Amino acid sequence: MSDVLFQRAKDAEAKRDYWFAAKLYKQAQDGFERMGKLKEAKICRNSIDNIIVTDEFGTYRLKHCQKCGGEMIVIRPGDIRCSKCEN
């Protein structure tokens, strides 16, 4: 099942549906961890890190700005902004 979720996540990422892809990668990661497949779980984690930036306090944003393409950075907990356009 986790293999199917992983493939669906890759497909969603290719279609630029990043939020859905991150959700599927997370579900696949959880499944791989339950099965003891830590290598696959790490691949899922790295894929999530390439899509989303988080402050580790519950605030999530896409890693790249939708407006200008700049990288999003954590300013402080609850505040994530674009490094280029401050969006």
Write the pLDDT tens digit of every residue in 6-21.
Answer: 999 999 988 989 889 9
Distance of CA 28 to the CA centre of its chain: 12
Q: In whole numbers, what is the pLDDT of the chain averaged over residues?
A: 91
The reply to whether 43 and 21 lie within a common domain is yes
The reply to whether 9 and 37 lie within a common domain is yes
User: Is pTM beyond 0.85 here?
Assistant: no
The proportion of the chain whose per-residue pLDDT surpasses 70, expressed as a percent, equals: 100
The reply to whether 69 and 39 lie within a common domain is no
* 46-66 pLDDT per residue, tens: 999 999 998 888 888 999 988
The reply to whether 73 and 40 lie within a common domain is no
Q: Is pLDDT at 87 greater than 80 in this prediction? A: no
The reply to whether 2 and 39 lie within a common domain is yes
Determine how many CB atoms are found less than 10 A away from the CB of residue 56: 8
The reply to whether 4 and 29 lie within a common domain is yes
Q: Specify the amino acid at residue 26.
A: K
C-alpha distances (whole Å) from 57 to each of 3, 62, 64 are 29, 15, 19
Domain that holds residue 87: 55-87
Q: Is pLDDT at 86 greater than 90 in this prediction? A: no
Sign of CA dihedral 61, 64, 69, 70: positive
Domain count, the chain: 2
The reply to whether 61 and 24 lie within a common domain is no
The reply to whether 1 and 40 lie within a common domain is yes
> What does the pLDDT read at residue 52?
92
The reply to whether 42 and 70 lie within a common domain is no
Residues in the chain: 87
Q: How far apart are CA 50 and CA 62, in angstroms?
A: 9
